[in-house]
């Protein structure tokens, strides 16, 4: 008897990316997130490209991938609403609250999610957590506010570091910087998100509680598990 090897993380991402097609509404524009899991969804979406109107994208990277596959990309300002927004997460808890921004696209992700009736999170099972806070929390900030905001996080017990790329602070699609904050415990995601968003210089905090997932398609060793919140 042969036993098959467990699915790799990449294979789990492919499975959930394909499973997300069931939420795409024919004839409509679909909201598309950012990241390696979403890249699998975009590749799967290309097989339906003649059945949809197009996509609203949450990053330059996703836009380029969509367009390379022949999927029209609409400006967010040109749509009133979307039926669905499909995106990955760095962490998702038992209530559908998430940490996002590992790919630095959190601000546009939150904007496109806000346009959508339903957030469908696609993730492999490594992303499922009891409580948010193990993954360093991404916060997009106006560069001149970095040091001040880092001090405010330090006062809460967090250690904030400017995300670097090639020896320079990473610059987001919006021309801003990312602080990654370790050591925080996010016990009340709704209040936490609201509070940090009030700080001068914060563009977007990577807790997605007000824009939480309605559904999570979780890639597990047993296949794709659908969790609704």
Catalytic residues: 109
The one segment of 33-41, 49-57, 63-71, 144-152 that binds ligand 5RP by CB under 6 A: 33-41
Between 71 and 108, CB nearer to ligand 5RP: 108
Residue corresponding to tokens 């975009």? 42
Q: 84: which 2 tokens?
A: 């669905």
Residue nearer to ligand 5RP on the CB measure, 100 or 177: 100
Among the listed residues 17, 31, 35, 158, the single contact to ligand 5RP using CB under 6 A: 35
Candidates 17, 31, 96, 101; binder of ligand 5RP (CB under 6 A) is: 101
- Ranges assigned E (strand) in the chain: 29-32, 54-57, 73-74, 82-87, 91-92, 98-99, 116-124, 137-141, 159-162, 164-165, 168-169, 177-182, 202-205, 207-208, 215-220, 223-228
Closest CA to 57 of 211, 78, 47: 78
Identified binder of ligand 5RP from the candidate list 18, 37, 62, 107, rule CB under 6 A? 37
Binding mask 58-97 for ligand 5RP (x = CB under 6 A): -----------------------------xxxx-------
Answer yes or no: are the C-beta atoms of 179 and 141 closer than 8 Å. Answer: yes
> Does residue 129 belong to the site contacting ligand 5RP (CB under 6 A)?
no
29/207 with CB nearer ligand 5RP: 207
Where helices occur in 46-96 by DSSP H, the ranges are 60-68
For strands 223-228 and 29-32, give the pairing. unpaired
Pick the binder of ligand 5RP from 7, 21, 36, 197 (CB under 6 A): 36
Contact residues: ligand 5RP, CB under 6 A: 33-37, 87-90, 100-106, 109
């Amino acid at each position: 008897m042969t036993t098959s090897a467990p699915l790799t993380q990449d294979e789990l991402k492919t499975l959930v990316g394909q499973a997300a097609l069931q939420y795409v509404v024919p004839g409509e524009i679909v909201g598309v997130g950012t990241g390696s899991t979403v890249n699998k969804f975009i590749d799967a979406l290309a097989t339906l490209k003649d059945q949809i109107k197009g996509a609203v994208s949450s990053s330059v990277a996703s836009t380029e991938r969509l367009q390379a596959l022949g999927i029209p990309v609409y400006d967010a300002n040109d749509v009133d609403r979307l039926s669905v927004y499909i995106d990955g997460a760095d962490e998702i808890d038992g209530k559908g609250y998430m940490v996002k921004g590992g790919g630095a696209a959190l601000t546009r992700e939150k904007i496109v999610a806000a346009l959508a009736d339903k957030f469908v999170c696609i993730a492999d099972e490594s992303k499922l957590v009891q409580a948010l806070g193990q993954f360093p929390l991404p916060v997009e900030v106006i560069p001149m506010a970095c040091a001040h905001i880092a001090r405010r996080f330090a006062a809460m017990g967090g250690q904030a570091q400017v995300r670097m790329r090639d020896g320079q602070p990473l610059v987001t699609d919006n021309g801003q910087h990312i602080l990654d904050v370790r050591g925080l415990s996010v016990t009340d995601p709704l209040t936490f998100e609201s509070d940090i968003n009030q700080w001068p210089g914060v563009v977007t905090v990577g807790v997605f509680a007000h824009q939480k997932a309605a559904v999570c398609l979780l890639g597990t060793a047993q296949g794709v598990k659908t969790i609704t919140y």
